[in-house]
Copies of this chain bind each other. A is one copy, B any other.
Amino acid sequence: MSEIMNIGVDLGGTTTKMALIDDSGKMIDKWAIATNTIDNGSHIADDISASVIKKMKQYNLDRSEVRGIGMGAPGFIDMDTGFVYKAVNIGWENYPLKEELEKLTGLPAIIENDANMAALGEMWLGAGQGAKNLICVTLGTGVGAGIICDGDILHGVSGMAGEIGHITVIPKDGSPCNCGKKGCLETVSSATGIRRLALEALDYNDSESILREIFEQKGDITAEDVFNCTAKGDPLSSAVAEKASYYLGYALGAISIVVNPEKIVIGGGVSHAGATLLDPLNKYFKRFSMPRVSGACTIDIARLGNDAGVIGGAWLSKTKIKQIHTA
């Protein structure tokens, strides 16, 4: 192996994904280990480091052949120090992640927020390839984003840049959000928000609907059901999908005027709706953006799925770790 290697790590609440990726972007191996959150997550760095060292042995890699580790973690992170202020699902509070990883592996490490790392992955090898100004939106339980300007993540003064799920899109009488505000984008365009809008629509409305049939069968519905029924022409579901897309298009219209991106990449569970989401989204995005801004920007579905994080981690290692260990 002549190319220098990078290790990407994507820490989740139950599983930690890892990958060995060379400087050219070729994925040599990917694997996962369980995330051990007992004892306030104090075993996690040990487990990851042991797994990294084992994998390096397997491939006969010494430290001069591995640039370093790029790792994404949920929660609030200081990029400069690699310090995790708080990661609720993991149990960390004021945890020196970078320092621990470096001590245990002997490799340089760089830490980033997990949503931002997925954005870097999509920029390097996914739907954002070639773009240096892009927004990667994740539509899952919540709505998050990694914003990349001139090839680098926008962090802002306290690492909060891109928390777009909490932009107010319904200023009056909006639904309560987990954050304490009302009418946040997350309340209408996340998987949870879309489910809520659909349940409300079923409640307010007596019309026949295949979505209602699913609800009566399963006792519940998901955002996926809403988009599936929309694709089948169900009017009630279409109205819900339209509403979710309207607010997302409204917010992305405003955001695009602020940062003027070349590409908006939509990921997360809701993005599996594909064209059923993109078609109305494009319509509202154009309405609320500006011609010179929307004309320079395309909206695409994310391509890397669950690999986006580890690929972004490898990109961080490749581009931010300059000095290679000389053993």
Q: Chain A: residues with CB nearer than 8 A to chain B?
A: 131-133, 147, 149-150, 152, 154-164, 166-168, 171, 179-181, 250-251, 253-255, 257-262, 287-288, 290-293, 296-297
CA distance A168 to B261 in the complex (A): 18
User: Chain B residues with Cβ under 8 A from A259's Cβ?
Assistant: 154, 156, 161, 258-259
Q: Is the interface of A mostly helix, strand, loop or mixed?
A: loop
What number of copies of this chain does the assembly contain? 2
The reply to whether A166 and B290 form a contact with Cβ atoms under 8 Å apart is: yes
CA distance A287 to B152 in the complex (A): 30
User: Chain B residues with Cβ under 8 A from A180's Cβ?
Assistant: 291
8 more CB-based (< 8 A) A-B contacts, given A167-B254, A168-B253 = A131-B157, A149-B156, A154-B259, A156-B260, A156-B261, A158-B260, A158-B296, A179-B290
Closest to A297 in B: B157
The reply to whether A254 and B254 form a contact with Cβ atoms under 8 Å apart is: yes
Which among A133, A161, A250 has the highest number of chain B CB atoms within 10 Å?
A: A161
Known: A156-B133, A168-B250. A260 touches B296 (CB 8 A): no
